[in-house]
Amino acid sequence: MAVAAASPATPLRGRGGFAAAAVLLCAALVAVPAAAAKPASPPTLQPGKLIVAFGDPAVGFASGTVRGSTITNPRGYEVDLATDIAKGLGLTPQWTYTSWNGLFLPGTKKFDVSFQEATITSQRARTITFSSPYLNANQGVLISKQTTPPKSIADVKKLQTCAQTNTTGLDWINSDLKPTKRPLTYPTTTAAFQAVQLNQCQALILDVPIVALQAKADPGKYGPVAGQIDTHEKYGAVMQKGSKLVPLIDAQIAKLTANGTIGKLQKKWFNLDFSKIPTLH
């Protein structure tokens, strides 16, 4: 609140004149607000920057040119999401590469946050910290061109299955499907997709969004996404265990969900209705 100055045409008079002036001066000092303190910068590895890690290219999610630990020209849903989160925090995003197989190892991370289509699980959360969810997903069944589409989970059980290592798809194969043939495993999604193209793997078990978008991007190289399994998974961003960035990232995800940004990004990059893929029982 501003304090009006005394009019020069009305001088302060009498015994209380100096006292009154002092009171007005003190009031003015109290009434003028102090300059607002500059908000503390988010606790990132580098001041003013949010170091964001991606893994192997995933169509629609994150792709770009990888040279060592550097990623140039990244694009995709997770890239745009990370950009909006950084902007909301007043930070500039900086991209880096990190391998999937090292993502959940305990210890110090060389990134602030990683987006790698990582399903939130209690086992993984023992060594890292997840953000709140930013996408829902089931497991999908992508078959080779030479494979007859399975009509049930029992049909999938008879096929030569495969999965990427350290994924919930492989967990589901081993704990729930228990196929007649030992599943093949691959260190990257790129290798797993190649195995399906070569018919070495008849049925790749991997997240529905990932297999559906890959099949759409390379028509003719695969059979259809034969179905999905109701595993009700949720993707979360990965941060170092106990990271102080977690509440800040969560707040941005909540804001971007509430204002419709996340929905718009999904429509922009996916343009597929995953719910139309039949559910196998």
Q: How confident is the model at residue 41 (pLDDT cuts 50, 70, 90)?
A: confident
> pTM of the full predicted structure?
0.84
**Vertex 162 angle, CA 156 and 164, to 5°:** 135
At the top level of CATH, the class of 49-134+236-276 is alpha beta
Identify which has the larger pLDDT, 29 or 214: 214
Q: For residues 29, 30, 32 and 35, what is the CA-based torsion angle, rounded to 10 degrees?
A: 100
Break the chain into its structural domains and give their ranges.
Answer: 49-134+236-276, 137-233
Q: How confident is the model at residue 40 (pLDDT cuts 50, 70, 90)?
A: confident
Identify which has the larger pLDDT, 70 or 268: 268
Is the pLDDT assigned to residue 211 strictly greater than 70? yes
- Single out the residue of 218, 220, 212 nearest to residue 277, CA to CA: 212
Q: How confident is the model at residue 128 (pLDDT cuts 50, 70, 90)?
A: very high
**CATH 3.40.190.10 assigned to 137-233:** yes
Is the pLDDT assigned to residue 162 strictly greater than 60? yes
The strand pair at 135-143 and 203-207 is best described as: antiparallel
Token look-up 């969810």 returns: 133
Mean pLDDT of 196-213: 98
Q: What is the mean pLDDT of the chain?
A: 89
Question: 49-134+236-276 and 137-233 share one CATH topology?
Answer: yes
Is the pLDDT assigned to residue 7 strictly greater than 90? no
The strand pairing partners of 225, in sequence order, are 142
Query: Which pLDDT belongs to residue 94?
Result: 96
Mean pLDDT of 11-40: 46
Q: How far is CA 170 from CA 2, 9, 116, in A?
A: 67, 87, 16
